[in-house]
Chain A
């Protein structure tokens, strides 16, 4: 009888708890808990990995973010208030991203988070960002097919990234191409877009291979490439694997002059990490290169490298996207403050104010860019560069006009991403689509 009594007590306690709805909903639900005060610091979260496997690109993002914030604060901050970054090391661990995002939002009550590089970390933090209606500035390239009301992306979408690269490569090297990517969402989505450009350019896809993230054995893939004899390779391999791929490519006797790799990821930091001779002759499509010849970029490169944050000795596309995100934030904050007054600014209002924010060519090192009014991604100009023997890039082609971001370009049946949500062809609107 003892057990049944215990069971009874437990059940009735549970029922009691369920009947008191107050305990299931915390008081602060949904609202942003803090209020900004004029002249007081504006807290933002900076959430990248400084250690672990993702540190290679992400440490630079933290450094350039600190640089941009210093620069903004030195010039008077945002309407007189300095930006105060809360810098977090996410240790390349998705659970840490998720925990720290909750801490930034709930405890530090930041008005926005700048962070994440991989899609997996973004997906890990989006539930809390959306639930508390906070704002994530996601400063890198990504696959799209996502429509939240809480993200502003300053990097190229899959539909912008390879639009020029594929036709350029087909024209200069031939029609036969082999796709290699890391085994996750971004490479697969990028390849779907690339296939469209490839078809338009009259190219032929010989094969498509995906390698586990972080894996370093490219032997089987290189054998398949040798068998297929493509004219060039289109690569979306990321991180440490990318470096292994380029090294093993050359070691397997492939020649970049005859069969180059056209990549969406292999930038200045990667060529530095793999040894310049392994990168030489390969191509990259990105909106920014360290070698871009314009006065803003000159100022950015000189300023950054001579600052305390410039220890890694290069600037690359991811950094320019992060740097720009700080200025988009600044512009949007100023807009929101002008519109609502300091005390009334919330993350959601900052987000709304981001719509259409334009960074002029004397702020943005990659040239003028602006945030789309509907889907909050960025209009930008992808460029194509070839890696030189010293690891730097020479720009060989630049798009004539800005390319529009469209997160659902290849899924017209699903809908169009608008400011208020994903609008399906039949007119229904869905919010928080991740």
Chain B
């Protein structure tokens, strides 16, 4: 093990705190409504990246269907917001056009805001728990698990399109007003909404980081490298895999709920294969092994999409494609890997100057 500042736990925490502090300070600097809303949505993407980094980077479970938890969370939240705008006894306008004359059972829990928000987190998490449990006990892993999540995601996309009376099909649900919590309306363009999302992002990131550093996280990382060996050591691999997958689902569900609050819109597009794969791409670009760099990956790609894209309309996708190929080819650890190498080089030089201090770092293993 080399002595690399990248693996120094204290420095890592300082870096996390610094990044989160900068992100949290944005509304103090700017009150551009569009910018706050846009950055808050990037925060949602950041949560998704953290969730993928947790299950893929740490657990080695490539999940190409993270849209499942995201979409379910977003739908539940949008349904809650839609019901808030309905006067008592009325049903959402689209249902009337689809031949329903009373609120279907599926929608009834969402009449109560707290229940609705609870379900927005509960439904996806339980789905992940069951789906993950079923798959991992059958020892489905690697690319096969990725393909299964892809198939399940496609199944969700099709059924949400087909159940038009309940989901409004392709059009999705666009609640006409913002979410109200008690008497407070969360205007999606306010600094309050930004801080709300940011606090959740910070909480998810810190929680994921604590998980990674815990004993649980150590076992999860071990089973990424060699599940058989972990199994022989007497651990129930399926339980660990299921749990880490479910936790990542919970984070994605939180992200989905925030997304619905911020955009007042959800549609089967959230279940599209392309969207779920692009989450994996952010994480791969940023560095799957590092939560915070995975988050940067999301910010970079989405930010570039919003700002670079308009200047070079037609070449932007080419740039994205090529940069992605280059990262995978030359930087398998993503941007984080680059930073790790650079930091390693500087510390190494320093170490050589100090005649190789043999003290071991207490930080993480070098993750590959």
Contacts and interface: CB of A to CB of B under 8 A. Distances in A.
B191 A120 contact: no
A374 B199 CA distance: 46
B269 A94 contact: yes
A24 B265 contact: no
Interface in B292-320: 306, 309-310, 313-314, 317
Interface stretch (B28-36, B140-148, B237-245): B28-36
Contact of B267 (A94, A128, A145): A94
Contact of A123 (B27, B98, B172): B172
The number of chain B residues touching the other chain, given as a range, is 35 or more
A127 B162 contact: no
A248 interface: no
Interface string A56-77: 0000000000000000000000
B93 A25 contact: no
A106 B34 contact: yes
Contacts of B171: 119-120, 123, 184-185
B189 A106 contact: yes
A95 interface: yes
B96 A414 contact: yes
B131 interface: no
A84 interface: no
A145 B171 CA distance: 13
B170 interface: yes
Interface stretch (A96-104, A222-230, A286-294, A331-339): A96-104
Interface residues of A, number: 49
Nearest to B182: A18
Contacts of B103: none
Given A93-B269, A95-B263, A120-B172, A24 B190 contact: yes
A95 B271 CA distance: 12
A408 to B, nearest CB: 10
A5 interface: no
Contacts of B314: 51
Nearest to B191: A23
A184 B161 contact: yes
A26 B191 contact: yes
B170 A184 contact: yes
Interface string B203-221: 0000000000000000000
A89 interface: yes
Interface string A79-117: 000000000110101110011001100110000000000
A98 B27 CA distance: 22
B289 interface: no
A2 interface: no
A102 B37 contact: yes
B155 to A, nearest CB: 12
Contacts of A213: 161, 170
A196 interface: no
A352 interface: no
B158 A188 contact: no
B195 interface: yes
Given A25-B185, A106-B33, A124 B174 contact: yes
8 contacts: A17-B192, A23-B192, A51-B313, A99-B41, A99-B306, A102-B189, A119-B171, A184-B169
8 residue pairs, one from A and one from B, having the closest CB atoms: A106-B34, A127-B264, A23-B192, A24-B192, A184-B170, A432-B176, A107-B34, A123-B174
Given A25-B187, A99-B41, A185-B169, 8 more contacts: A26-B31, A27-B31, A89-B313, A94-B265, A124-B174, A183-B162, A185-B97, A414-B93
